[in-house]
Amino acid sequence: MDALRLISESSIKKELPEFNIGDTVRVSVSIKEGEKERVQVFEGTVIAKKGSGISRTFTVRRVSYGVGVERVFPIHSPHIGEVKVVRRGRVRRAKLYFLRDRVGKAAKVKEKIG
């Protein structure tokens, strides 16, 4: 039990980025391909935050070549380099799953001013 607690404490990130649902974020993810390791950037809208503690996750959605792509990122994952907020969104929901059914400008989130 103590070993599990040490592992979980060592992998918890000290500085968490401040972002909310509806924000457009740029997530840097390290990807290992064979011997090489590279950083891939995934940019999209945060549509959900789930969990608590070390198992906390957030879901980012973007449309790539006309196809909606969603990725779930654990906040405390060692593969997540940085999360940078590109723009703040103004929403009135905790989960933005309704954006999956929308196309074009209807799928946009208004920008928060001020």
For residue 16, list its beta bridge partners.
Answer: none
Confidence of residue 15 (pLDDT cuts 50, 70, 90): confident
What class is the 2-102 domain?
mainly beta
Domain boundaries, the chain: 2-102
Q: Could you tell me whether strands 57-64 and 67-74 are parallel, antiparallel, or unpaired per DSSP bridges?
A: antiparallel
pTM of the model: 0.85
- pLDDT bin (cut points 50, 70, 90) of residue 2 is low
For residue 58, name the pLDDT band (cuts at 50, 70, 90).
very high
What confidence score (pLDDT) does residue 40 get?
95
The tens digit of pLDDT for each residue in 72-112 reads: 999 998 899 899 999 999 999 999 999 999 988 898 899 88
What six digits make up the tokens of 88?
């703040």
